[in-house]
A and B are shown apart, each in its own frame.
Chain A
């Protein structure tokens, strides 16, 4: 009954799940990108799109096991994604200051349709943050404690 030994003992290889995920996950991933990119014209946006993109990755981890997924998609890639997203959002905000605008005042950039592009970029940044953080939450919680980091926990 005990499932406490070994963090991956819950994984069961299933042909049905693997086949379903193999077929479904590209569509889920694409739909997530659509929601993210098309958030300005229809329902959705960075938060929702990011969550859907992340769930397509989590699906893969469920079907094929967490360790193989971690090898395929390294933690550092996910951290880079989160970093790039946050930098985009803050960068666009601060960049407006350089053009004599207020923080996040997209119109200050002076490009035609500047506000729209600003909003789109910010949405993509949010999407990258949300997708990255959700995937990394999943991967790290699945990995559990790093016991060999030495010392007793207080």
Chain B
């Protein structure tokens, strides 16, 4: 049952990704991309990573889609009524080759939920699982690691987000800082 669900979802995700690449109309491609992000978010939920799933659903499927939509308002639709883009064979061969190379590494990944996988048996994992609650009194270990153990890294991430906002203000000349 679980396997069937994974199969359906991953097939959907792959086809959505191909649709993004090949659809000629940019609006359709953006909608396919939102569908792709949403499928990936559900895969993350099945893999028991709700924090990542929330981010993917909110940012990938929601905000990015809206920003893309804003961008294409300023473009014109290509003429003609072909549904799909012509395949450019050079890049297609390179991309397929790259995917093939990456697929060879799949065999060395641990199976899902494998208790003997390096991540599950690692000393660091054990340390966080045992000490996160006594030391921080926060029940979500992910939050404990992000905001306490790795607080400095998270500050860096916040700075990146801030820099993105400032960069847009400067580039669009809403504020003159330079």
A residues within 8 Å of B by Cβ?
Answer: 1-4, 7, 9-10, 35, 39-48, 51-52, 54-55, 58, 62, 75, 82, 85-86, 89-90, 93, 103-104, 106, 113, 115-116, 118-119, 122-123, 125-126, 129-130, 132-134, 136-138, 140-146, 149
Residues of A within 8 Å of B139, CB to CB, are 40-42
A146 touches B154 (CB 8 A): no
One digit per residue, 1 when the CB lies within 8 angstroms of any chain A CB and 0 when it does not, for chain B 33-48 equals 0000000000000000
Residues of B within 8 Å of A129, CB to CB, are 158, 161-162
Least CB separation from B136: chain A residue: A115
* Count of inter-chain pairs, beta carbons less than 8 A: 152
A104 touches B155 (CB 8 A): yes
**Complex CA–CA separation, A41 to B136 (angstroms):** 12
B146 touches A45 (CB 8 A): yes
Interface positions of B from 50 to 84, Cβ below 8 Å from A:
50-51, 53-55, 58-59, 62-63, 66-67, 70-71, 73-77
If A45-B146, A115-B148, A136-B169 touch, does A130 touch B161 (CB 8 Å cutoff)? yes
If A51-B55, A51-B62, A129-B162 touch, does A89 touch B155 (CB 8 Å cutoff)? yes
Q: Quick one: which of A2, A44, A62 has the most chain B CB within 10 A?
A: A44
Least distance between A117 CB and chain B CB atoms (Å): 9
Residues of B within 8 Å of A106, CB to CB, are 148
**Complex CA–CA separation, A75 to B176 (angstroms):** 15
Some 29 contacts from A to B, beta carbons below 8 A apart, are: A1-B77, A3-B74, A4-B74, A7-B73, A43-B50, A45-B51, A45-B143, A46-B147, A47-B157, A48-B51, A48-B55, A48-B58, A51-B58, A82-B162, A89-B158, A113-B137, A116-B137, A119-B147, A122-B147, A122-B154, A125-B158, A129-B161, A136-B165, A138-B63, A138-B67, A138-B70, A140-B169, A145-B172, A149-B176
Interface positions of B from 159 to 178, Cβ below 8 Å from A:
161-162, 164-165, 168-169, 172-174, 176
A119 touches B70 (CB 8 A): no
Known: A90-B155, A122-B147, A130-B158. 18 other contacts (CB 8 A): A3-B74, A4-B76, A40-B144, A43-B54, A45-B147, A48-B54, A51-B62, A52-B58, A55-B58, A58-B62, A104-B148, A104-B152, A115-B135, A134-B63, A136-B169, A138-B67, A143-B174, A146-B173
If A40-B140, A141-B70, A144-B74 touch, does A47 touch B147 (CB 8 Å cutoff)? no
B158 touches A39 (CB 8 A): no
Contact partner of A141 among B75, B76, B168, CB < 8 A? B168
B63 touches A42 (CB 8 A): no
Within 8 Å of chain A (Cβ to Cβ): is B110?
Answer: no
Least CB separation from B56: chain A residue: A48
Residues of A within 8 Å of B59, CB to CB, are 51
Residues of A within 8 Å of B154, CB to CB, are 122, 126
Within 8 Å of chain A (Cβ to Cβ): is B142?
Answer: yes
Within 8 Å of chain A (Cβ to Cβ): is B7?
Answer: no
Residues of B within 8 Å of A1, CB to CB, are 76-77
Residues of B within 8 Å of A118, CB to CB, are 147-148
